[in-house]
Amino acid sequence: MSGKRVLTQEEIDTLFSGLTGRPDGEGQVDAFDFTRLDRIPRSQIRVIHQLYETFIRNVSTSLGAYLGTYASLTFVSLEQISYGEFLEGLESPTCLAYVNLRPFDGVMLMELGRSFVFGSVELLLGGGTDAMMYPSRKLTDVEKSLIRNVLRIVLADFSDVWSGIAAVQFEVQSVADEPMALNVLTPAEAVVAVSLEVKMGAATSMVNMAIPSIFVKRLRDRFERMQTVQQTEAQRDDQVHMAMLLQQVPVELEVQVDGGMVPADVVAELEIGDVLEFDHASDRALAAFVNGRPLYVGKIAAIRDHLNLVVERKQEAVVSRSTTAGSRT
């Protein structure tokens, strides 16, 4: 064939209508929000939750020892929100600590409730833990210095629990009074927000923490390795626990001597002192059954006026139990 075929206008319209997916050329367009949060997988969120559970147990002891009073922390909530939403939920004025995540880039934020801040200062200066109305004012330089010391105790335990994921040193960069004092994150940037309740004596307060989601996502591979290790350890622990339980389970051990057929009238006339001869050589191996299953092979031996089975090897072939007359030892 020679020459080129020219499409008609009707054929061209048909082709274009097929590309759109609809005869009339109309298509469906979905809006995409480029500022939406970059969500962290639930598997990582579960690991973070476990880290905080360990953290609150450890820091309760450390904080109580440092302040000289009973301290108790309770996990309240964990959610993924934007940095702007986190700031909107803070008081003004407040005590907001900016914490570096060394050697990684990024800053974690910690908001300390007034009862926790002024209660800690009161204890460090020799006061008590009675509940009282604390002033709504900015902290003095002396109070900020004391709070920095408290934060060092808290963040030391926080670094310890994170060591299973990565070697992160949480160090206080600065302590501010207003949420908008430092713009370390954009309002749309995602954070993992955690709320903890702190009780010291009769005073109750809140501590809110926000970790940049991008920091958590960079450690995704380490989270996955930690989950694998936890699953392996859990399986090993389950096996050890099961083995300990099975050690207490009673089993039935039987040794059977196959002696051939014996007439019923002979058995009926047996008396004390009679000897019944079996068709089984004395040096022939015997099968030992554990819960009805042949498991060992051995020989009978007399030790201290008792008959005993000396195990020679494990059973290799499956031996069916005889239903003929026999003797059990």
**Which stretches within 108-171 are classed as H helix?**
114-124, 141-162
Q: Which residue has the higher pLDDT, 286 or 189?
A: 189
User: How do strand 71-82 and strand 169-176 relate by DSSP bridges?
Assistant: unpaired
Q: Which residue has the higher pLDDT, 37 or 47?
A: 47
In this structure, are 212 and 133 located in the same domain?
yes
In this structure, are 59 and 208 located in the same domain?
yes
Q: How many Å apart are CA 87 and CA 187, to the nearest integer?
A: 9
In this structure, are 142 and 72 located in the same domain?
yes
CA 188, 190, 194 angle in degrees (round to 5)?
130
Is the pTM above the cut of 0.85? no
Q: Provide, rounded to the nearest whole percent, the portion of the chain with pLDDT above 90.
A: 19
Q: Which residue has the higher pLDDT, 93 or 2?
A: 93
Structural domain including 106 reads 42-218
Q: Is the pLDDT of residue 326 over 50?
A: no
CATH number at residue 89: 3.40.1550.10
Average predicted confidence (pLDDT) for the chain:
78
User: How do strand 107-112 and strand 293-303 relate by DSSP bridges?
Assistant: unpaired
What would you report as the CA-atom Rg of the chain, rounded to the nearest whole angstrom?
A: 39
Boundary of a domain, candidates 198, 218, 238: 218
> Do you know the residue count of the chain?
329
Q: Which amino acid is at 28?
A: Q
pLDDT on residue 320? 44
Q: Is the pLDDT of residue 150 over 90?
A: yes
Q: How many Å apart are CA 152 and CA 173, to the nearest integer?
A: 11
Cα–Cα distances in angstroms (integers) from residue 287 to residues 278, 320, 324, in the given order: 16, 10, 15
pLDDT-based confidence at 33, cuts 50/70/90? low
